[in-house]
């Protein structure tokens, strides 16, 4: 398996069940992924954990983790100062093709809108056309 140019030996990834067990026994938060991030970075030169900060209409966002079985979605609706994103253990699932297509579409739409607005803001500030 190859992700973003990195060859991944799937047998060296954590399993879904191992990850769920770790989350259930700890804080079930972004902070609880620290060991996995370190392990993955040491093995692959990449954490293989991605933040998806866009709401899907149900969750505020999700963290995506590469596991032996695929890509695990760890949705969150709450954040804490120390633990960061707090995962909703009941909504964790392996992402399927349709969900990934929706994530791609949502990202393209969200960031195209944001980039357009930021460009307009830059033009306004650059041209000093702000009226206070």
The confidence score (pLDDT) of residue 80 equals 72
Q: What are the Cα distances from residue 79, in Å, to 58, 60, 62, 70, 111? A: 15, 10, 12, 25, 22
DSSP 91: G
pLDDT tens, position by position, 23-82: 988 889 888 999 999 999 999 999 999 999 898 888 899 999 999 999 999 999 877 776
pLDDT confidence of residue 130: 63
Query: What are the strands, taking DSSP E only, across 68-105?
Result: 70-80, 84-87, 93-94
What φ, ψ does residue 51 adopt, rounded to 5°?
Answer: -90, 130
Section 74-101 average pLDDT: 89
Residue 83 has pLDDT above 80, yes or no: no
**Domain coordinates in residue numbering, the chain:** 2-95, 96-132
Radius of gyration of the chain (CA): 18
pLDDT value at residue 58: 85
33 secondary structure, DSSP code:
G
CA–CA separation, 119 vs 104, rounded Å? Answer: 22
Most confident of the following: 18-22, 79-83, 125-129: 18-22
pLDDT higher than 70, residue 131: no
96-to-50, 60, 81, 113 alpha-carbon distances in Å: 16, 19, 31, 26
Residues contacting 33, CB < 8 A, separation 6+: 49, 63, 65
**How does the average pLDDT of the chain come out, rounded?**
91
Q: Which residues contact 62 (CB under 8 A, 6 or more apart)?
A: 52, 56, 73, 74, 75, 76
């Amino acid at each position: 398996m190859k992700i973003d140019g990195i060859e991944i030996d799937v047998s060296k990834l954590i399993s879904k069940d191992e990850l769920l067990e770790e989350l259930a026994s700890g804080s079930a938060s972004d902070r609880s992924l620290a060991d996995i991030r370190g392990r993955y970075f040491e093995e692959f030169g990449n954490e293989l954990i991605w933040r998806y900060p866009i709401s899907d209409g149900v969750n505020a966002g999700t963290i995506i983790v590469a596991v032996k079985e695929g890509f695990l979605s760890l949705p969150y609706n709450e954040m804490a100062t120390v633990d960061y994103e707090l995962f909703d253990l009941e909504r964790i699932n392996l992402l399927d093709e349709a969900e990934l297509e929706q994530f791609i579409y949502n990202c393209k739409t969200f960031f195209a809108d944001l980039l357009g607005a930021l460009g307009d803001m830059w033009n306004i500030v650059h041209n000093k056309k702000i009226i206070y």
